[in-house]
A = this chain, B = another copy of it.
Amino acid sequence: MAHFFDPGCVAEPFLTLCAEYPDAEVYPSSQFRVEWGPIFHRGRLDGSARVLVIGQDPAQHETIVRRTLVGEAGRRVQGLLAKLGMTRSYVFINTYLYSVYGSVKAKTRKDVRLLGYRNRWMDALLVDQKVEAVLALGQAADEAWKFWKATPAGQSTSLAYAAVTHPTQPESFSKGEKAKLQLATKKLLQNWSLALQTLAPAISHPDTPTPLVPYGETWAEGDRIGIPDYDFPAGLPSWMHEQDGWARRVGADDVGKRRNITITVPKGVVQ
């Protein structure tokens, strides 16, 4: 039985990009979890991508898997891509290479070294490539897009674009209040339906041509889709593909938590 996987950065310009990333000098350790290393991407780096998704920053599951948006937020975006007929020909990058710790200062956000490196990824993925549409998740990702659009390469490139509410914004906004969560989810799904209308006409080469069906008022069956095996590195166990919740930051205090990732194999996997 074949276990599909993503070989990752295997060719230029991505080999060089994965070697020349900015570190704590550009991403201060007071604002980012640089101690876990950068997380670059998820999806196709072989030139076959038709949609670019700009995420925000990777969290603990992404740190172990070394791919971005592999948890609940990723499954929601995977569902959005599927509504556009995109089941394989996409690529995700991060606004920030490292998980945000606290908040990001304006000076950092606009550091030319941070922008310059991110723009090299966007050049590599968007200039004279097959990408037809770009999706930004959240405000920082939207800003990343605008910074790139202001470059000469960005100005000379015409692509369908939508910025949407971050996929787990309803959860972080509502902080466990059920009514707030329902309302925020409804608003997110309206926002995502608008994005579908913007992007769908631009996608001329879907993997699986699909009639456009907007979201309802709550998450419906099929709106959240598992991350495909072919987005994970070789050899990772299937439980890392199928769910999240298996990686936590555990510690007695903030520094202790920051220094820790605890992985627990889900129940039932070990006999």
Contact = CB atoms under 8 A, between A and B. Distances in A.
A23 B270 CA distance: 13
A237 B36 contact: yes
Given A236-B37, A265-B35, A270 B7 contact: no
Given A9-B234, A237-B36, A259 B264 contact: yes
A35 B255 CA distance: 30
A260 B23 CA distance: 30
Contact of A271 (B4, B20, B29): B29
B19 A5 contact: yes
Given A29-B271, A259-B265, A233 B235 contact: no
A261 B264 CA distance: 7
Interface string A35-47: 1111110000000
B262 A270 contact: no
A237 B37 contact: yes
Given A66-B233, A260-B262, A260-B263, A19 B36 contact: no
A19 B3 CA distance: 5
A15 to B, nearest CB: 7
Given A19-B234, A35-B265, A7 B4 contact: no
Interface size for chain A: under 10, 10 to 19, 20 to 34, or 35 or more residues?
A: 35 or more
A235 to B, nearest CB: 5
Interface in A1-50: 1-5, 7-10, 15, 18-21, 23, 29-30, 34-40
Given A9-B234, A36-B237, A259-B265, 16 more contacts: A1-B23, A2-B20, A5-B19, A7-B7, A7-B15, A18-B234, A34-B237, A35-B237, A35-B269, A37-B236, A37-B237, A37-B240, A39-B235, A64-B64, A260-B262, A262-B263
A18 B235 contact: yes
Copies in the complex: 2
Given A7-B8, A35-B265, A21 B260 contact: no
Nearest to A246: B259
Interface in A232-254: 233-237, 239-240, 250
Given A29-B270, A260-B265, A21 B39 contact: no
A130 interface: no
A18 B36 contact: no
